[in-house]
Amino acid sequence: MKRKQVEYEKAMVLRKTGRSIKKIAKLLDVSVSIVHVWTKDVELTDEQRERLKRRKARVRHLRKLARQSHAEKVLRVKRLLKDANAEIKSLSEQEFFLTGVALYWAEGFKSVKEGRLGFCNSDPRMIKFIIEWFEKSLKINREDFVLRTEFNESHKDRTEEIKVFWSKLTRISLNQFEKPFYHRSGWLKDYPDRDNYFGVLRVRVRRSSELLHKMRGWIEGLSSNS
């Protein structure tokens, strides 16, 4: 009760100086409605009323400008995306091949300890591209892919759903999926858009040690052209 009395007295002082009810509520960390009740009998001067009126109009104007600026930014970004997308023409066979090598260079398994081709990512578009690249550029048969899902253990109840998602995306049979790997932590991460979380997918290629050596050579070739 004592705390409310202190807040009440401060609210009265602030209101008499011409502060707005919303501003007082924010300063005292109380609701707008309670400040309104506390200060309803405080008479503001004409000058104070006019100042609050001008401030309210200025805030409305600034908000309008902010909305316009945001809308303009959204349109500008859409135009940039559309124009940039149009700049990517159909890739030639060589361009497609080099794009895949560069992508593997960035995200593929290259360690000297590796014995076969492998790739890991969470972006479905990237996974889809690399699978197609493996097939078209490296002539890898679909049955030679071995996939494994990896995701936070808080999504363990969605194991089958996640596997089916990647299976449909890659058009690779569930029979070619290894046992999932669950990432464990001291706390369970809370994903805001839980149903759209599918972790990462590891893609391995059976009997691909020779291709892995060639991959290292292709990457070396790219790096020597920089």
> Looking at residue 150, what is its pLDDT?
95
Give me the sign of the Cα torsion angle 28, 29, 30, 36.
positive
> Looking at residue 120, what is its pLDDT?
96
Contacts of 149 (CB under 8 A, 6+ apart): 159, 162, 163, 166, 177, 180, 181, 198, 199, 200, 201, 202
Grade residue 81 by pLDDT with cuts at 50, 70 and 90. Answer: very high
> Looking at residue 112, what is its pLDDT?
83
Q: What's the CA gap between 146 and 173, in Å, rounded?
A: 10
> Looking at residue 126, what is its pLDDT?
97
Grade residue 207 by pLDDT with cuts at 50, 70 and 90. Answer: very high
Mean pLDDT for 196-216 is 95
Grade residue 18 by pLDDT with cuts at 50, 70 and 90. Answer: confident
Mean pLDDT for 163-174 is 96
Q: Is the pLDDT of residue 214 over 80?
A: yes
State the average pLDDT for the chain.
91
Mean pLDDT for 158-179 is 96
Q: Is the pLDDT of residue 67 over 90?
A: yes
In the chain, the percentage of residues whose pLDDT exceeds 70 is 95
Domain boundaries, the chain: 2-64, 93-224
Contacts of 81 (CB under 8 A, 6+ apart): none
Mean pLDDT for 193-215 is 93
> Looking at residue 148, what is its pLDDT?
97
Q: Is the pLDDT of residue 95 over 90?
A: yes
More confident residue, 45 or 145: 145
Q: Is the pLDDT of residue 122 over 90?
A: yes
Task: State both tokens at 133.
Answer: 């690249």
* Region at 60 (left for phi over 0; alpha for psi -120 to 50; beta for the rest): alpha
Mean pLDDT for 154-158 is 91
> Looking at residue 182, what is its pLDDT?
92
Q: What's the CA gap between 208 and 189, in Å, rounded?
A: 36
Residue in 47, 15, 17, 57 with CA at minimum distance from that of residue 34: 15
